[in-house]
Structure 1
């Protein structure tokens, strides 16, 4: 082997040593040469280095200098020329890696600046009904038709009452019907109007377990208030401490374009709303239905009205593939937003996802119905599971394997940090026009094997198909986080027209990110406003982290190797 080849080989070894994590033995060798022991790391938490570099105990340039000095001190020794050449090349390689680390520091700093800029922009997502200063009483609203019903609530379209047509006038007839002995035809239903005048939706919870006191209702149904705005409740009710099942304070959720926002929350007497007798007669209180099991008062939630649920949309339409990818991206961004605040939804399904169209006709998805969520301020995303009486949350069909197969015991916890991500993988089948593999007579999340998962449409991009498979990995440690999965789809989504994985991302990461920044800023100031694409790009940039971004690239490289 020629000296040229030896030096080249040494340089290659030096460049790749960083990625193979072989520095600890090298550091010990260098310390022995200096008769010193390796010192403890002194990097602070504010270091700009990515986390995978923070185990270095000495400067790489200093290490390279030590190696070179040792070489010259031993140049007249008996070592072979080939060994000295390899040693020199290795030292030069260490110096080159120091340059790479400096570039990584600059990249990390740029990412932090981008993140700070777009995080401020995301904070500007405000309550569109902020000018509506009232709304803390049922009489402040006009009620329209029933637009939805679940296992614990009914939803009606609504609008703020005006001077000429007040909510009190609508319910004047209902107030006279307080006798529980009246027959069904004697009960006068509430008057209502239909049309496009209802921008709001009122969700009336069914209170069958608690008494009618305001404090008891708010404490028991506190999870429904997790996505509530700071001024959702009247000032005299904001002091009520909402607690979870373990007695700890329930967390509050910051606003996000892909998570529902509750504008008002209050308790009131249960009225006789349209279709109540046909839709949910048993949930009515005895003053309205002698055989009803509901209490007189319950919780009402006011939110924006959405045209339909994702399930209703998918029953009629199969979205184009690029729009389907956009939908999955929105769900991942919403789930990541929840996780970063220590909240797990635990009942993520297409019926609990609302949709609307933006100014250019793209579909915006919104995660709703937080009644089963885990939002304990003390435990975070881990649930103590010491008894079978502990509620795992949600429905059995879409429980992640680590949740449904958990066995109760002392000091046992269920980790929900990747449970909602698994549910997104199952919903992806529905979005791409296939039956959910875990519904009806399909697979069981407790026992399925990954090889049993049905194939997605062949027209789907291979990278997206592989991502869905990764989301449905049984082992949560092998499943990407919501942030990593979102990064993977973002990289694919914004580069789809160029190539599967544009080399510019690998070689000029910061330049590519700055281009995306310019795109997001210019598009948000255009006449179309904040479209779904602009919101997605802003979410991506407001959460950009160099280490997580490179992890997403590594996953995509893995996908590329699988495709080849």
Structure 2
């Protein structure tokens, strides 16, 4: 047999194996091959012939492991039988190579099974969105409304309380000490600025501004249905939900499952617009004519009840620069939140520091939650939006609109893919977390060059700088997903010493680390720290662990390290 003939058969073998699904178990692969009886490691069995594999390929009618064994035995038979050295070498090379492929496949199957077992353990514990379930609160009269705590383009937010909602603890979390050094120099004693949700008002009520939607509940919900995406199953009264959400005004909007880094809407209802404190001064134009003769608003609107958070991320960053570890954890929380949205085919499309709320855990670490879903994309078609004309809504905040969205030109068959748009915005927000202005408030996302991006402060960890660099790539196909980016930070925070000591990723080492990490997180979950930000992030990582995502994350880190070494060597050479 000539070398050319052997190589051509090898190529045919590779093509056939890939067509049949190399990653399927050997038994299922063998069942697809044409033949009468196949001899593998187990006793032979009859397989129905398949028409797509020509008869001349009967040499390859074996599983990968069986074929490897036959090629190796054929090589040794040729040694004994006096075959040519060239044929012996070719047969042995093919046999050994296929044996290694089968071994790697078996390792992958074992590792994937372990990842699934870890997922099953950590997905059992559901995130509790309500500290104490309550069954009331579907009317505006059920609440006591306090002062205004926020205002946006489409709504005003007020602090609220209700008899059925327990008050929050009166313990206040220190935000930042302002001008402490100057106060010491001037011999002045200043109280540190403390910011927390009022214990008397544990809830926040968001009153939407209704201009043009009419006063019908059906019309209001049809116009503002996206606000209901993060609502819990009990947000709408049962009979009201059946009346207004099941076919009267269109498809039921998607509902997000609860997540520590995504807001939860406890209640949603329509009611007449009241005259709340500061309404005539803050937003007179959106009031109905019965409250303002010159107002343009309708008599009824949508009210959303949520947890009252101390401040927004923007307010926090105006007076505080987070420490290195805290900033990394905040960055990681945003990635986890965006990954949770992407897994359920929802794109926020308006991520910015004003739409991220903040509170503190029992250790004083900031916990972030994504809010304001009025511009989100939550269609059955997933994260792709047909862009046939300029009238199609591409989302909010044009400054933090991903390049593939901002540069899209409408036309027949044009589709905008939002699968990596939110994660790009998170990469831009990372600059604010580490004490720098967001570069895209000066740069244009549609025309910037990657080399124009400023460097993060030297205090930012190397892996954070790597993730930001990857997330802000203009080409979305070269941009990692939120899950891969989060895995990089998880490994950097808790597993770098174990995994990054290897130039090549060894699956056995990786799986051993995952098992140890799982045991540590389970043991910590029994103590006081189970509700801390760090513990929540570790549980989220293990509940969503996927073998390929983890391997991709480690590959990114390993590649960057090699690039850094080569750059360092080139700089040190004379």
TM-score, normalising length: structure 2: 0.80
Aligned match for 2:401, one of 386, 391, 399: 399
Residue 28 in structure 1 maps to residue 27 in structure 2: no
- Provide the residue aligned with 2:181 in structure 1: none
Offset, 1:65: 1.5
Pick the aligned partner of 2:267 from 264, 269, 275. 264
Alpha carbons of 1:39 and 1:333: their partners in 2 closer, same or farther (altered >3 Å)?
closer
Name 2:32's counterpart in structure 1: none
Find the aligned partners of 1:460 and 1:195 in 2 and give their Cα distance.
Answer: 34
Distance 1:30-1:449 versus aligned 2 partners, 3 A rule: closer
Shift of 1:493: 1.2
- Once the two structures are TM-superposed, the CA of residue 93 in structure 1 deviates from its matched residue by 4.2
- Asked if the contact 1:285/1:295 (under 8 Å) is kept, the reply is yes
Structure 2 partner of 1:415 = 417
Aligned residue in 2 for 1:473: 473
Q: Extract unaligned runs of 5+ from structure 2.
A: 1-6, 29-59, 166-196, 566-574
Q: Secondary structure at the match of 2:128?
A: coil
Match of 2:281 among 278, 283, 306: 278
Query: Equivalent residues in 2 for 1:435-446 (5 A)?
Result: 435-439=437-441, 442-446=442-446
Q: 1:303 to 1:46 in 2, by over 3 A?
A: farther
User: SS of the counterpart of 1:120?
Assistant: coil
Map 1:481-500 → 2, pairs under 5 A: 481-495=481-495, 498=497
Query: 1: CA distance between counterparts of 2:481 and 2:27?
Result: 22
Gaps of at least 5 residues in structure 1 are: 1-22, 32-36, 50-55, 164-193
Partner of 2:98: 94
Whole-Å Cα distance in 2 between the matches of residues 340 and 149 of structure 1? 30
More displaced 10-residue stretch of structure 1: 68-77 or 299-308: 68-77
Please list the CA deviations of residues 348-389 of structure 1 after superposition, one character each: whole Å capped at 9, or x if unmatched: 111100010011111110000000000012x11010111111
Give the structure-1-normalised TM-score: 0.82
* Structure 1 equivalent of residue 429 of structure 2: 427
Give, in whole Å, the separation in 2 of the partners of 1:457 and 1:160. Answer: 45
Farther off after superposition, 346-355 or 65-74: 65-74
- Contact kept in structure 2, 1:463 and 1:559, CA below 8 Å: no
1:120 equivalenced with 2:121 (yes/no): no
Aligned to 1:189: none
Using a 3 Å threshold, how does the CA distance of structure 1 residues 523 and 74 change in structure 2: closer, same or farther?
A: same
CA root-mean-square deviation: 2.9
Residues 29 and 120 of structure 1: CA distance in aligned 2, closer, same or farther (over 3 Å):
closer
SS across alignment from 2:322: coil
Q: Out of 251, 256, 278, which is 2:254 matched to?
A: 251
Q: Which residue matches 2:20?
A: 41
Q: Secondary structure at the match of 2:241?
A: coil
The answer as to whether partners of 2:347 and 2:422 remain within 8 angstroms in 1 is yes
- With over 3 angstroms needed to count, the CA separation of the structure-2 counterparts of 1:346 and 1:307, relative to structure 1, is same
CA distance in 1, matches of 2:206, 2:316: 21
Equivalent residue, structure 2, for 1:532: 533
Alignment of 1:68 onto 2:69 = no
Instruction: Give the direction of change, closer, same or farther, for the CA distance of 1:42–1:454 in structure 2 (3 Å limit).
Output: closer
Between the aligned partners of 2:75 and 2:500, the Cα distance in structure 1 is 42
Q: Secondary structure at the match of 2:528?
A: coil
Q: Is residue 103 from structure 1 mapped to residue 107 from structure 2 by the alignment?
A: yes
Distance in 2, Cα, partners of 1:86 & 1:555: 35
Equivalent residue for 1:18?
none
Residue 511 of structure 2 is matched in structure 1 by: 510
Residues 242 and 46 (structure 1 numbering): CA distance in 2 closer, same or farther, change over 3 Å?
A: farther
1:211 to partner: Cα distance: 0.5
Does the Cα contact within 8 Å between 1:48 and 1:108 map onto a contact in 2?
Answer: no
The corresponding residue for 1:141 is 143
Instruction: Give the drift of 1:554.
Output: 0.7
Q: For residues 207 and 39 of structure 1, what CA distance do their matches in structure 2 show?
A: 57
SS of 2:242's equivalent in the other structure is coil
Alpha carbons of 1:42 and 1:495: their partners in 2 closer, same or farther (altered >3 Å)?
closer
Aligned counterparts, 1:154-165, within 5 A: 154-161=156-163
CA distance in 1, matches of 2:555, 2:11: 27
Q: Give the aligned partner of residue 390 of structure 1.
A: 392
- Distance in 2 between the 1:422 and 1:199 partners? 33
Equivalenced residue count is 494
Q: How does 1:454-473 map to 2 (within 5 A)?
A: 454-473=454-473
Structure-2 change in CA distance of 1:233 and 1:30 (3 Å): closer
1:91 positional shift:
2.1
Cα offset, 1:95, TM superposition: 2.3
Cα separation, 2, equivalents of 1:127 and 1:453: 41
Distance in 1 between the 2:316 and 2:379 partners?
A: 33
